[in-house]
Amino acid sequence: MKRLISIACAGAVSVGLIATAHAQGQSLSSTMDVYVFPTEGQDSSQQSKDEAECYEWAVGNAGADPFDLAKQEEADQQQAQAEQQAAQQAGQGAGARGAVRGAAAGALIGEIANDDASEGAAWGAAAGAVRGRRMGREAQAQAQQQSAAQAEQREQATEEQLSNFKKAFSVCLEAKNYMVKY
């Protein structure tokens, strides 16, 4: 029963996609940047029917729906932007934290070395601020690299899924006597 319901839902989705494509004056394949030419003189209604059948077959066999992948790609881009913004925030305030740590260490060393904690604290704060800023920039650069690498991995995975779908879609249409290029 569940299989029957999922087949009926999938059929309704493909009919909706075909209706949307026709309303825009496009075939289902052209909305996915797949070019289909009938080699046996099939008319446009037969081609639309064949494309819908192959679409369903390709979704089932490739495990990916190109329209869902487009939505996923948009979400991935938004996530990548959010990660880049978070990466830019990484390391902020590191100079101030470094200055505080350096001042504390400098005060302790200055007190021990020459009974002048204030001079040691000043030198320690300056050195700590420089080191803290450098470490903050390094942390920010590392966070941005990591974010970019993760975004690229997600993009490659989506492209691979779309490519697999197009291969399956093409094989099905070629079996129905169409020439297919993408």
- CB-CB contact of 36 with 180 (8 Å): yes
Residue 110: what residue type? Answer: G
CB neighbour class for 75 (10 Å; exposed up to 12, middle 13-18, buried from 19): exposed
Write down the pLDDT at residue 13: 47
CA pair distance 95, 91, nearest whole angstrom: 9
Write down the pLDDT at residue 177: 96
Write down the pLDDT at residue 38: 95
Write down the pLDDT at residue 147: 82
Q: Six-digit token pair at 70?
A: 């487009």
Write down the pLDDT at residue 160: 94
pTM of the model: 0.60
Half-sphere exposure of 113 (CA within 13 A, CB side): 12
pLDDT tens for the chain, residues 1 to 182: 444 344 444 444 444 444 444 445 578 898 899 999 999 999 999 999 999 999 999 999 999 999 999 898 888 888 888 887 877 776 666 667 766 677 666 666 666 666 667 776 777 777 777 777 788 788 778 888 888 888 889 899 999 999 999 999 999 999 999 999 98
Write down the pLDDT at residue 55: 97
What are residue 35's phi and psi, to 5 degrees?
Answer: -105, 125
Write down the pLDDT at residue 25: 57
Q: Six-digit token pair at 163?
A: 């490519």
CA pair distance 179, 172, nearest whole angstrom: 11
CA pair distance 178, 36, nearest whole angstrom: 6
Residue 87: what residue type? Answer: A
C-alpha to C-alpha distances, 71 to 11, 64, 75, nearest whole angstrom: 20, 12, 6
